[in-house]
Structure 1
Amino acid sequence: MTIVRTRYAEVHPGLGDGADPVTTEIIRQGLNAAADQMKQSLIRTAFSPIIYEALDFAVAFYDADMCMLAQAPTLPAFMGTLGFCVREAVEGVGGPATLSPGDVILYNDPYGTGSHPQDAAMVVPIFHDDTLVAYSVIKAHWLDIGGKDPYCTDTVDVHQEGTIFPGVKLYDAGRLVSDVYRMILANSRMPEMVIGDINAMVAGARTGAEALGALVRRHGLDTFRRCVARMYAHGEALVRGWFERLPDGVYEASSVIDSDGVNGTPIPFGVRVVVDGSSVTVDLTGCPDQVGGPVNCPLPSTVAAVRIAVAFLAGAGEQPNEGHFRPLELVTRLGSLFHPVRPAPCFMYGIPSDHAIELIIRALAEAVPESVPAASGGDINALVWWGNREATGEPWADGAPHPVGQGASPSADGASALMYISESATRFTPAEVWEARNPWRIERLALAEDSGGPGRHRGGLGLDLSFRILEDQYLTAGLARTALEPWGLEGGLSGRPNRLTVEYPDGHAEDFSLKTRIFLPKGAVVHLRTGSGGGYGPAAERDPEAVRADLREGYITPEHAARHYPHAL
């Protein structure tokens, strides 16, 4: 049994001593602003709604030691993975010594990105004079890159999931490498959309590189590096200060994943969180071996899950940098669900990753009950659609995550219909854009009454969404947490799980969770019912006025109120 410890060692200790705090803050905010420039450039030039509407991407800067300098508010699920992307992409082309100004590296190997091959990274090295000082990187979802289907829930090895580019130069010293470009075109069902998005990613990464380069030129490389070291030290102190307030101990939680998408067997697993002074260790060595279906989670996304949970609890709302994660250690077992080895399939890696985030937070509820919410709907409810247009035969595809209800907290009701924390900077496409671009009609889009878990504070409501199909097409459903109800805390009751139902024109209906290539004939209706949040505290303690307000707003029915809140009536 091979145990792997992933930790974040301090780079250049003491370098930040004496750095001016005002200059440090100017540089920190300058890095955040530069990352936002990169984000906006990508949004304004992307071809696919999954990028410019759903915001299914992440952008960040890494220093020459591949430590995270800054990230724009984008996809948190990629937060812990981009450093791996940069490292593996650079190694794939021969290391830092082989890099030149104008290079753009393409990388999408799932075992280095932590994702399916459709989540591809573009890495641009940034030079100051002749010195490599940083990297700008964008990781974004492409609509198709030659997998067995545009989106897969039933793959049995990684080679079915898409074409892999294991670190290749798309631009070499500013010159397009046409062979790589043509390979991308040849391995996509929708080459025009994918190439449009690739060009947008290149433009965005170069925009970020120019902005960071200007920041270094303004302050000088020596000042920049000293202030960055101080910035890292501040992030580390912030997180260590939060964990120092927790009682030392071992905290555990367990749950069950619905299935692996192939065998249909539930997958139980658990986490151990060890708090020792100002350090925290997340131990996943007790999880099951890697499975035959695509819910294996490669190490980079396991790291991301841990980072998200810690940033959620201890990050104080700051945009993170590498320093925030120095107090963390992750322990995994090679060949397991959270550290699989090639060629295990991993297309639906986000299912165990999202589940682990909730379990880490739940485990720490024992240590800090005043800071931890009940469970949310716990999934992104990914739907990906594709087909050929009736009138022209032109191929099309679209996809999006969908919001869930959030868990109630000790001080407030859960928020309704928000993206799950791993996708909290994303959004689902407006109905008007969907209907203008795709062959369906939105017949219902509403908060689901009575769905929030009852409690002193009510869980957030899920969403009811119905699509009427106007042309024959296909759908891949990527739902998890369809059997497990979102748990309440401290006496609060559970919320509702996620559910997808297809109502066919002949009148019969069928439920799906993880299912690839569902044929949807014209006239079918797809009903998505996203999960809600669990309640916090006993329902009998809910403020009667809050119950009456929920009735007025239509969040609950009189029958629900009579069943769970009779004291308010």
Structure 2
Amino acid sequence: MSAVETVVHRAGAGGATGVADADPITTEVIRHGLNSAANQMKRALVRTAFSPIIYEVLDFAVAIYDDQIRLLAQAPSLPLFMGTMNYCVEYAVEGAGGVDKLQPGDIILYNEPYGTGSHPQDAAVVMPVFFDGTLIAYTAIKGHWLDIGGKEPYSTDTVDVFQEGTIFPGVKLYRAGELVDDIYRMALANTRVPKMVAGDLNAEVVGVRAGAAALVDLVGRYGLETFRTSVERMYDHGEAVVRAYLEQMPDGQYVGQGRMDNNGITEDPIPFEVVLEIEGSSARVDFSRAPDAQEGPVNCPIPSTVSASRIALTMLAGSGEPPNEGHFRAIEVVTRPGSMFHPLKPSPCFLYGWPAMQSMEVIYNAVAQAMPDAVTACSGGDICSLVWWGTREATGEPWADGSPHPVGQGAHVRGDGANSLLHVAESATRFSPTEVWETKNPWLLERVELIADSGGAGKHRGGLGVQMDFQMLEDAWVTAVIERTQSPGWGLEGGEPAGVANAGALRQADGTRTTLGKATRLKVAKGATFELTCGGGGGYGPPSERDPEAVRSDVREGYVSEARAREQYPHAFEDE
């Protein structure tokens, strides 16, 4: 590819500054103060939100950026969102007229997919933070609204961005502290569940204000000059941590291979590859060989492509520290405009997260070629998402809910894969407890159980997937987004693929059953059951090397059937 055909994405302004006069103790106190401020934002949001997708699932991100839009701190929530927030801030401010148009008390609403990296339901609220009249930072929250006026509350078959929801291209929701009522009323007029959206929008406002207040208090305690000096040292430290890890990887080019089931419109599979280049202490993640933007909504805008790349590598290299801008300086991301990982308007991108999740697995597949001990085998590779809606029989009120669901995780050099966890892209989120689900929604959970034989065989066994069956008590609609139905998670170093792939099925009250993967606005009649199969993870190492006692334990616990164990691990039964 020529330089004209690709775009290189790097972390925010700056590089290692070598700040020598920042006191390390003060720097560490300020770093923890920033993380505390971000966590205050999170707590405020969760405690005031209306919908379970916010306060139970944690389908949001909260972050604080400096005046150069460099990440200061974020609270644990949805990882895939976190790496997109600098774009949300940048484009929200640009849409509102630029930095010169900002004033204390402003709050901007922004949800254009090519700037947020998400579908329009993931609405960002951005607040500029002033200290003694000087713009010093931004607090930002991006949270999933249950509906924002798209062709459906959730879709797998959109063909352009205009079908996907109402767009707010960087408009002031609050101007100098005063609500812009026209914008607020427009947001509520373009949703099927206005009470829940109103509650969640106001909760985002509460959250950014809480973060701004905590940040101003922190800066006031130490002074702006000391604060900024310490922040530069904090960035330098984050960069050093990641570079030290990358230096352990052999220089070279490593190609990871992946595949999407389809694009939501046609049934053709979509193979793709990602190239990881390591040179010294720097990494380049190259998506320039990606296929062209798709007819259906499996296109991943730049912010989420960059976010997936940074998350995949910093989760390995970040030493478990809360990230800041410095952690990203060693990582470049290359994309090709007009491709699946760099779509241009008006390409549909409602299912942006699914190629992003697959790209993370593919990046780990590439890392495994250089350092197989560093990564796990492939997980179930999906969040097996279901989004429900309907009208309650007793009250006539509209309702909606949605959730990711857990899959088996890949095994690794140190042990078996974890059973039934959310994909690493959503590793700090969760799904609602059964009690909350059944209280708020018109269904019963017929079955929630680990799936025997779903983990891939190996010296270390892949984690088990889970079966969840939802029996409907009232008529409802559902959109299902289930990927990797044709490609179970791969094994590593001689480990076998997962034994069960992801799948969905609708079982009618009369027993007839229809299988599915991606489906939009599927009628689930009263008495019908939606069967969700969340697949297992791949194995690590040759099955012949598994400890016989571990095999027998798996059989006793019901993780592996005896028949499958005898087939996959015959050495464990030789002494019979």
Q: TM-score, normalised by structure 1?
A: 0.99
Residue aligning to 1:6 = 9
What SS class does the counterpart of residue 374 from structure 2 fall into? Answer: coil
One-letter code aligned to 2:273: G
Residue aligning to 1:302 = 305
Q: Quote the offset at 1:276 in angstroms.
A: 0.5
Residue aligning to 2:505 = 501
Of 460, 474, 484, the match for 1:457: 460
Misfit runs of 4+, over 6 Å? none
Residue aligning to 2:485 = 482
- The sequence identity of aligned pairs, in percent, is 59
- For the residues of structure 2 that align with 1:350 and 1:550, how far apart are their CA atoms? 34
- For the residues of structure 1 that align with 2:17 and 2:45, how far apart are their CA atoms? 36
Structure 1 unaligned segments of length 5 or more: list them. Answer: none
- 13-22 or 544-553, which deviates more: 13-22
- For the residues of structure 2 that align with 1:79 and 1:392, how far apart are their CA atoms? 38
- For the residues of structure 1 that align with 2:558 and 2:364, how far apart are their CA atoms? 31
Aligned-residue Cα RMSD (Å) equals: 1.0
Of 168, 171, 174, the match for 1:171: 174
One-letter code aligned to 2:542: P
- For the residues of structure 1 that align with 2:17 and 2:184, how far apart are their CA atoms? 44
- For the residues of structure 2 that align with 1:110 and 1:14, how far apart are their CA atoms? 34
- 307-316 or 117-126, which deviates more: 307-316
Residue aligning to 1:117 = 120
Mark the CA change 1:15 to 1:164 in structure 2 (over 3 Å): closer, same or farther.
farther
Contact 2:293 2:299 in 1 (8 A): yes
Residue aligning to 2:517 = 513
Residue aligning to 1:546 = 550
Q: Quote the offset at 1:507 in angstroms.
A: 2.0
Q: Quote the offset at 1:373 in angstroms.
A: 0.9
Residue aligning to 1:106 = 109
Of 527, 531, 546, the match for 1:527: 531
What SS class does the counterpart of residue 253 from structure 1 fall into? Answer: strand
Q: TM-score, normalised by structure 2?
A: 0.98
* Equivalent residues in 2 for 1:298-377, closer than 5 Å: 298-377=301-380
Contact 1:290 1:340 in 2 (8 A): yes
Structure 1 residues 139-161: Cα deviation after superposition (integer angstroms, max 9, x where no partner)? 00000000000001100000000
Q: Quote the offset at 1:563 in angstroms.
A: 1.3
- For the residues of structure 1 that align with 2:247 and 2:12, how far apart are their CA atoms? 19
- For the residues of structure 2 that align with 1:27 and 1:417, how far apart are their CA atoms? 37
Q: Does 1:246 align with 2:249?
A: yes
What SS class does the counterpart of residue 199 from structure 2 fall into? Answer: helix
Of 35, 47, 51, the match for 1:32: 35
Contact 2:413 2:460 in 1 (8 A): yes
- 394-403 or 552-561, which deviates more: 552-561
Q: Does 1:70 align with 2:93?
A: no
Structure 2 unaligned segments of length 5 or more: list them. Answer: none
Residue aligning to 2:387 = 384
Of 144, 148, 155, the match for 1:145: 148
What SS class does the counterpart of residue 364 from structure 1 fall into? Answer: helix
Structure 1 residues 420-447: Cα deviation after superposition (integer angstroms, max 9, x where no partner)? 0110011011101111111100010111
Contact 2:258 2:359 in 1 (8 A): no
Structure 1 residues 65-113: Cα deviation after superposition (integer angstroms, max 9, x where no partner)? 0000011011001121000000000011111111111111000000100
One-letter code aligned to 1:215: L
* Equivalent residues in 2 for 1:174-323, closer than 5 Å: 174-323=177-326
- For the residues of structure 1 that align with 2:384 and 2:94, how far apart are their CA atoms? 35
- For the residues of structure 2 that align with 1:564 and 1:544, how far apart are their CA atoms? 11
Of 162, 165, 169, the match for 2:165: 162
Mark the CA change 1:101 to 1:567 in structure 2 (over 3 Å): closer, same or farther.
same
Residue aligning to 2:415 = 412
Contact 2:121 2:147 in 1 (8 A): yes
- For the residues of structure 2 that align with 1:12 and 1:493, how far apart are their CA atoms? 43
Q: Quote the offset at 1:2 in angstroms.
A: 2.4
What count of residue pairs does the alignment treat as equivalent?
569
Q: Does 1:43 align with 2:52?
A: no
Contact 1:16 1:228 in 2 (8 A): no
* Equivalent residues in 2 for 1:392-403, closer than 5 Å: 392-403=395-406
Structure 1 residues 38-85: Cα deviation after superposition (integer angstroms, max 9, x where no partner)? 101111110000000111000000000000001101100112100000
- For the residues of structure 2 that align with 1:209 and 1:550, how far apart are their CA atoms? 51
- For the residues of structure 2 that align with 1:194 and 1:236, how far apart are their CA atoms? 39
- For the residues of structure 2 that align with 1:377 and 1:119, how far apart are their CA atoms? 24
Residue aligning to 1:563 = 567
- For the residues of structure 2 that align with 1:53 and 1:30, how far apart are their CA atoms? 26
One-letter code aligned to 2:48: T
Contact 1:15 1:226 in 2 (8 A): no
- For the residues of structure 1 that align with 2:381 and 2:230, how far apart are their CA atoms? 38
- 196-205 or 555-564, which deviates more: 555-564
Q: Quote the offset at 1:506 in angstroms.
A: 2.6
Contact 2:13 2:70 in 1 (8 A): no
- For the residues of structure 2 that align with 1:25 and 1:381, how far apart are their CA atoms? 40
Mark the CA change 1:15 to 1:99 in structure 2 (over 3 Å): closer, same or farther.
farther
Residue aligning to 1:536 = 540
What SS class does the counterpart of residue 41 from structure 2 fall into? Answer: helix
- For the residues of structure 1 that align with 2:454 and 2:377, how far apart are their CA atoms? 14
Mark the CA change 1:542 to 1:13 in structure 2 (over 3 Å): closer, same or farther.
closer
- For the residues of structure 2 that align with 1:287 and 1:177, how far apart are their CA atoms? 42
What SS class does the counterpart of residue 417 from structure 2 fall into? Answer: coil
Q: Quote the offset at 1:11 in angstroms.
A: 2.1
